[in-house]
Structure 1
Amino acid sequence: MRPTDQITVREAYAAMHRYLERLYELAGADELGGLLGSMSLLPDGQTADPTAWTDWIQAVEEIRAGRGNLQLELEPGTDD
């Protein structure tokens, strides 16, 4: 993607959904299926699980505010 290319928050959500859908088609993981179901849009445009959209918007706002890892590096886990 070129730096001048822009998509809307809704288009980005749809792209993320499609990406996860492809992973689900390859792996068939139940967790992905559940996530996709909650992210799906209802006829009124709302997500099946209202918190899915709220969580998405929160993530977008965090990135826009510079509180995210744009390199998409995994953070080391902690051992409890």
Structure 2
Amino acid sequence: MEQEMLSTVDGYRAMVFFIEHLFEMTRSDDLAGILGGLQVAADGRPMDPAAWTDWLDAVSRARLNSHSDEL
């Protein structure tokens, strides 16, 4: 897997996009449930198989929306 760096701001944006997407998919206010699906299993993958793809999508969105290091 290719290692890419995100700025602090892009990482923050990616996290927000990711959590917004999870909320849209589940409509759950249960943070514990969301975090449970994000835990990394023994094989190195998230417990929720779609989580990694969703994360990569969020990172892509953050990069596309990166115009500066300001929020």
**Matched-pair identity in %:** 41
Is 1:64 matched with 2:67?
no
One-letter code aligned to 2:55: W
Unpaired runs of 5+ in structure 2? 1-6, 16-28
Normalising by the residue count of structure 1, what TM-score does the alignment of the two structures yield? Answer: 0.45
Matches of 2:38 and 2:48 in 1, distance apart? 7
- Greater Rg over alpha carbons, structure: 1
- Aligned residue in 1 for 2:44: 45
| RMSD of aligned Cα (Å) | 2.9
- One-letter identity of the residue aligned with 2:50: T
- The residue correspondences of 1:1-80 to structure 2 (distance < 5 A) are 31-66=30-65, 71=71
Deviation at 1:50, TM superposition (A): 1.1
- Give how far 1:54 is off: 1.1
**Aligned length in residues:** 45
Gaps of 5+ in 1: 1-5, 17-29, 72-80
CA distance in 2, matches of 1:32, 1:62: 22
**TM-score, normalized by length of structure 2?**
0.50
Q: Post-superposition, which runs of at least 4 consecutive aligned residues in structure 1 deviate over 4 A?
A: none
Instruction: State the one-letter code of the partner of 1:62.
Output: R
Instruction: Output the amino acid matched with 2:52.
Output: W
